[in-house]
């Protein structure tokens, strides 16, 4: 009896010591019962809070609040600030998506599976087995077929399962750029098989359409130009800034490893979208990594910070390992 008591006491002391050591090192695995993990900081003199929902959106960024103002539209699983990939020009017909699938709709759970969720000091680290956007065999509603016209010969989702080992891993933290605090977003797409062509969206940010003004940075001229026409699915070369009409709240995105930007306004859904995109031919089994910076705050400050980041970075090609 004495030996058993001593052994049990040793186990308890060891467990407590181990937990204390991990906390001191700044590491904490997030229990499955925790449905939301958060980061907070101060930028442009106001608090900013980021939330990643583990249960509903598989760790995709579901809320970004600055100055008590919500920047993210998270009505369904196709919005949020998240990452996604497409293959063989099939668009939604072969489309692993971080936050989940179309049939998750506005429900409380995600078809994507969380494999890792932890806080490393002041950084959130997640890895998910991403769900395909469409159920196997789901017909597309677009009259031009899959791939938004690129594959009119295919009219149904070609994935054979809900998930198939396409992993999306990300590291998110607040970091300092000059005198300002920005959100650093790093993502690794783990591709389990080869493809002729792949499209990687390291950032797909969906904002409420109160962000009605759109600015595109002209790196050569060093200025932002406001796009008055709001073209559908506009492909542009420079970083994008969205702003409310009064300029009190703005959102900017800079992509370090993907030179293509897209913006679009979904009028019926009352949401606007900003994407970073990279198209890769001859995709091999392996990992494709991308880095991005997101900035929230007043319009003038966000434009100045995005311009400074852009001027100090030359976007390289996507890395593979």
Structure confidence at residue 318 (pLDDT): 42
Q: Is the dihedral of CA 305, 309, 315, 321 positive or negative?
A: negative
Contact in structure between 145 and 154 (CB atoms under 8 Å): yes
Q: What is the DSSP letter of 319?
A: E
Q: Is the dihedral of CA 72, 98, 201, 138 positive or negative?
A: negative
- H helical segments located in 121-272: none
Instruction: Using the structure block, give the residue that is written with the tokens 């009190």.
Output: 248
For residues 103 and 138, give the distance between their C-alpha atoms in angstroms, rounded to a whole number.
10
Structure confidence at residue 44 (pLDDT): 96
Provide the residue-wise pLDDT of the chain in tens; the chain has 321 residues: 444 444 454 444 444 444 444 444 445 565 544 588 999 999 999 999 999 999 999 999 999 999 999 999 999 999 999 999 999 999 999 999 999 999 999 999 999 999 999 998 899 999 999 999 999 999 988 788 898 889 999 999 999 999 999 999 999 999 998 778 999 999 999 999 999 999 999 999 999 999 999 999 998 999 999 987 667 789 998 999 999 999 999 999 999 998 799 999 888 878 999 999 999 999 999 999 999 999 999 999 999 999 999 988 755 444 443
- Name residues whose C-beta falls within 8 Å of residue 260's C-beta, 6 or more positions apart in sequence: 235, 237, 276, 277, 278, 279
């Amino acid at each position: 009896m004495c030996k058993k008591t001593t052994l049990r006491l040793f186990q308890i002391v060891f467990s407590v010591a181990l937990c204390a050591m991990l906390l001191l090192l700044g590491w904490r695995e997030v229990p499955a019962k925790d449905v939301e993990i958060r980061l907070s900081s101060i930028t442009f003199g106001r608090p900013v809070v980021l939330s990643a929902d583990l249960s509903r959106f598989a760790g995709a960024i579901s809320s970004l609040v600055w100055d008590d103002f919500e920047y993210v539209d998270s009505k369904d699983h196709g919005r949020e600030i998240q990452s996604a990939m497409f293959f063989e020009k099939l668009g939604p017909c072969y489309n692993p998506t971080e936050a989940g699938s179309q049939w998750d709709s506005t429900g409380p759970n995600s078809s994507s599976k969380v494999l890792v969720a932890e806080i490393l000091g002041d950084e959130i680290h997640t890895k998910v087995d991403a769900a395909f956007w469409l159920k196997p065999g789901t017909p597309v509603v677009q009259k031009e077929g899959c791939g938004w016209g690129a594959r009119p010969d295919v009219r149904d989702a070609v994935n054979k399962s809900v998930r198939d080992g396409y992993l999306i891993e990300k590291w998110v933290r607040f970091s300092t750029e000059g005198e300002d605090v920005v959100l650093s977003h790093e993502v690794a797409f783990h591709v389990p098989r080869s493809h002729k062509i792949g499209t990687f969206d390291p950032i797909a940010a969906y904002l409420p359409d109160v962000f009605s003004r759109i600015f595109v940075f002209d790196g050569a001229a060093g200025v932002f130009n406001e796009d008055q026409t709001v073209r559908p699915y506009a492909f542009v070369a420079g970083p994008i800034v969205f702003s409310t009409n009064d300029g009190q709240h703005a959102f900017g995105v800079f992509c370090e490893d993907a030179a293509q930007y897209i913006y679009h306004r979904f009028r019926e859904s009352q949401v606007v979208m900003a994407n970073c995109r990279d198209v890769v031919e001859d995709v091999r089994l392996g990992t494709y990594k991308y880095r991005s910076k997101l900035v929230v705050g007043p319009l003038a400050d966000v434009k100045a910070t995005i311009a400074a980041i852009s001027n100090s970075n030359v976007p390289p090609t996507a890395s593979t390992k």
